[in-house]
Structure 1
Amino acid sequence: MSHAIPESDLAEALLRQAPRRDTYTGWQNWRTSRRSFVPAPKLSLAEWKALSPRERSLYDLHRTATHVHLPLQETPMSLKVSRLVNRRLRNNALKTRPSTRAGVMVTGWGYQGKTETVCEVAAAFEDAWLALHDHLNPNTVDGVRDLHAPVAYVQTPVTAKPKGTCQAILNFFGAENRRLTLPQLIRQVADSLADHGTQALILDDITRLRMHRADDQDTLDLIRALMSMNVTLVLVGVDILGSGLLRQGHWDATTRQWVMPPSTHTRVHGLEATQTERRFDLVELDRFRYTTPDQIAAFHDHLAGLEDSLRLLKAEPGLLTAGTMPEYLMRRTDGVVGLLERLIEDGCQEAMDKGKETLDEDLLDEIILSLDDPDRDPQAGEIPSIPGSSTPRTPRKAARNTVLDDRGPATADR
């Protein structure tokens, strides 16, 4: 096929299974291959017609894969998150004093790119850390052959409790964790993080940890204990301020950080060496807005990046950025990156199936956005409201009176 990558390479790209990042092997596979996808070349309609039937079929398959692998683009919102997470990971990793490492909380609603942004920053940090140490654990113990895992990514279980979260962390390393009590699990987590040279621990969907009365103290103690393990704790979740995880915290206007007070116990399951406050930077990954000139320009730039990645045969310049299309896309998606990509992805497939080979508002009107995802928890706000849908965002169960809570400065529209 003269205008595409070799069939063997194409088959490898299309048949490769998406790795699970919540295991050491899966994370390494994703980290090392995250930029390996080769998009389909751009062909004109005349060039496509000149291909043989087999070549057309392969090319159509390749451009479909291109549309579902739209590149992760930097936005003003994600840049703010990336800078903070990268700074905290880099600075904490270079600390040698036995001081507590400040953590990071990344909040925002579902489908706004929190996980992908954090994982990309963490993967780039791991690339640099491994290169710095020649891919060896600088703190390894003689005679031990533990895997070197500078970053551990953990998906909080949907029905999460402190024990289940500890087990998910141990599952990342493939460590045995059955029939252990919570104090034993926390101790084993600490040992695993130290043995594997882990510098950063990412807990995704942390707000799945329900703050029910029976588990409140265990949940807060778990967070304090994790911060005592000489790793940078990165918590990613939906509406962290409203989840109750910061219920006992307070906003320090001097350091501009959220402060978690020391545990009420002398030690947190054997790990609290001193009554030290635990500090978190809280940053919000917001959706696109369309009010100020800068916000409008940022959205147009994002659409231009998406447009350049599309492989429709009759697409004209300005496909997503000209006329009323930007306003239409904002209205359909409310500026949520994940909804925008889903709409464009499904619209491209519809345009190919119908032979239209371009996008317009009439075609996109036929696309009904559906976000049924068994891996996401609607009750935790992980599935956003879809503009025009009659189904509202699912409220949290067992809502708590938060009138007297000190929430610090507002995070929206900063």
Structure 2
Amino acid sequence: MTSSDATQSGPVAPIFLPGQIPDRTRWTGWDRWRRTRGLFVPAPLFTLDAYQKLSPRQRRLHDLHRVATHSNLQIQETPMSMRVAWRLRALIEDNAFDCSPGTRPGMMINGGACQGKTETVCEVIAGFEDDWLALHADNPLAIAGTRDIHAPVAYVRTPVKATPISTCQRILDFFGEDYKGMRLEDLVRTVKDAVFDHGCKALVLDDVTRLKLHREADQDVLDLIRELMSLPVTLALVGVGIPKSGLLRDGRRDPVTGQWLFPPVKDRGKSPNDEAPGQTDLRFELLDLDPFRYDTRAGITAWTGHLVGLESQLRLLRSEEGMLTTGSMPEYLFSRANGVVGLLKRLIQAGCRYAMETGEERLTPDLLDAMVIHPADLPGLDPDSGEMPDIPPAPRRTTRSRNTVFDDRGTPPAAAG
């Protein structure tokens, strides 16, 4: 487009501007995210020669589009996430088509921090909702004379320092229900009514290990979970370190089958609510979403395949095929991320921006050595609940100074007039 064309048509907002960020913990935000997920258009692939032929303004816009592309790297399936996704989707569908009034089995999804649990679960329930709405355009359970929104799924993040009351309030926040002045028993009853009235078939409680069970009063949490399990809804609990959280009895993982095994309830010991964890064990399947491993041929192949998909999304002008997958790069990246997809993504995003700013325009071990990822780069995680991953330190090299991309540089001085 020429400058005269731009003058005549007026300023046009770039297509890669993010717009309003949806809050998935509210129905309106969740619905907007579900309908628009996957619509982001990445920057076009340019060679260095083609890039240099652009005008200064076109280069700047393309650079911003590349930044936006690297900030919106697509979540890729892993062999571990595919297994969890298949089991969860199958359970939700089986329960949704079950016409009996009995208790539905639920699922607990356990894993370390930044391993993609949240995005895996959200994609599963969003896909289910897409299909369910195709079957039921309107809410089949709406009460006559009302306009209950149809919410086949609900995504709720457990609050930090959670209690049964605050957890119920978070659930009601998703549906937009009023709970002012309610006691716990009223909140539980209102939650049950909301699930029925809005036609909810799957309820996700993320960060569930923020619920603390070390005090006698906290055993009310288990009572709350049992109340929710009595609803005709698939309850999915997502968290870090679930087997040791107190939600379940201490168990062990079978090294052959990968399934969690739990001892008889009588072995639990003296507890103010001994039977509650046992009932929870019997009604939930516990699945682990593990990180990649680099100690077997299959693990190395899966890790390299993940890097291939990641590399295809990058928009660096000097990148070449095999930039992330040849030589020592796969092993180097594994050592920097411990096989954790969230840490890998953050490292690559930081490296891409640094490569653009320095003109390197490609990723190498030397360049990535300058990347230092801090806990502050992973906001929204509760360290007290084990949600902060172990971040491997960057290799120490004396030939390159530390990158300061993440440092707070303060407010730049005003230009001299």
Determine if the TM-score, normalized by the shorter chain, exceeds 0.5: yes
Query: Per the alignment, in what secondary structure is the counterpart of residue 105 of structure 1?
Result: strand
Structure 2 gap segments, 5+ residues each: 3-8, 266-271, 396-417
> How much has 1:141 moved relative to structure 2?
2.6
| Percent identity for Structure 1 against Structure 2 | 52
Q: Which amino acid aligns with 2:384?
A: Q
The one-letter amino acid of 1:226's match is L
Pick closer, same or farther for the CA change 1:64–1:156 going to 2, 3 Å. Answer: same
The CA deviation at 1:374 is 4.5
1:225 to 201, 224, 227: 227
CA distance in 2, matches of 1:13, 1:32: 17
Give the SS at the match of 2:203.
strand
* Contact residue 42 and residue 69 of structure 2 kept, 8 A: yes
**Match for residue 282 of structure 1?**
286
Q: Is the 8 A contact 1:238 1:382 kept in 2?
A: yes
Are the counterparts in 2 of residues 290 and 299 from structure 1 also a CA contact under 8 Å?
yes
Contact 2:110 2:241 (8 Å CA) reproduced: yes
Scaled by the length of structure 1, the TM-score of the pair is 0.85
Structure 1 residue 138 and structure 2 residue 140: aligned?
Answer: yes
Letter matched to residue 103 of structure 1: G
Distance in structure 2 (CA, Å) of the matches to 1:260 and 1:174 = 41
Do residues 365 (structure 1) and 369 (structure 2) align? yes
CA-CA distance at 1:144 after TM superposition = 1.9
2:344 alignment partner, SS class: helix
Quickly say closer, same or farther: Cα 1:294–1:305, change in 2 above 3 A.
Answer: same
Give, in whole Å, the separation in 1 of the partners of 2:264 and 2:186. 23
What SS class does the counterpart of residue 68 from structure 2 fall into?
Answer: helix
Q: Which runs of 4+ in 1 moved over 4 A?
A: 6-10, 248-253, 255-261, 275-278
State the secondary structure of the residue aligned to 2:162: coil
Change (3 A) 1:195 1:131: same
Give the alignment partner of residue 301 of structure 1, picking from 282, 302, 305: 305
- Amino acid of the residue matched to residue 195 of structure 2? L
Q: Output aligned runs, 1:203-218, within 5 Å.
A: 203-218=205-220
**Residue 397 of structure 1 corresponds to which residue in structure 2?**
none
**1:131-153 deviations in Å (ceiling 9; x for gaps):** 011x2112223222100000100
Equivalent of 1:34, from 37, 42, 47? 37
Amino acid at match of 2:66: R
Residue of structure 2 in register with 1:412 after alignment: none
Cα distance in 2 for partners of 1:113, 1:7 equals 42
1:341 aligns with 2:345: yes
1:43 alignment partner in structure 2: 46
Provide the residue aligned with 1:351 in structure 2: 355
Specify the code of the residue in structure 2 equivalent to 1:184.
D
SS at structure 2 position matched to 1:197: coil
Alpha carbons of structure 1 residues 78 and 382: separation in structure 2 relative to 1, 3 Å: same
Deviation at 1:199, TM superposition (A): 0.4
Q: 2:382 aligns with which of 345, 370, 377?
A: 377
Q: Which has the larger radius of gyration?
A: 2
CA contact (8 A) 1:227 1:278 kept: no
Asked whether the 8 Å contact 1:313–1:358 carries over to 2, the reply is yes
Alpha-carbon shift at residue 358 of structure 1 (Å): 0.5
RMSD (Å) for aligned C-alpha atoms: 2.7
Cα deviation per residue 1:94-125 (whole Å; 9 max; x = unaligned)? 00011211001000010000000000000000
- CA drift of 1:248 comes to 8.8
User: Quick one: structure 1 residues 189 and 380, their matched pair in 2 at CA, closer, same or farther if it must change by over 3 Å?
Assistant: same
Return the letter of the residue paired with 1:327.
E
Change (3 A) 1:16 1:385: same
Report the Cα distance in structure 1 between the residues aligned to 2:356 and 2:68, rounded to whole angstroms: 13
Q: Would the aligned equivalents of 2:243 and 2:251 in 1 still touch at CA under 8 Å?
A: no
CA-CA distance at 1:278 after TM superposition: 5.4
Aligned length: 375
Residue 204 of structure 2 contacts residue 238 of structure 2 at CA under 8 Å; is this kept in 1?
yes
Match of 1:330 among 328, 331, 334: 334
Structure 1 residue runs without a partner (length 5+): 269-274, 391-414
1:318 has 2:318 as partner: no
Q: Output the TM-score relative to the length of structure 2.
A: 0.84
Counterpart of 2:245 (choices 223, 226, 243) is: 243
User: Does the CA-based 8 Å contact 1:86-1:121 persist in structure 2?
Assistant: yes
CA contact (8 A) 1:13 1:37 kept: yes
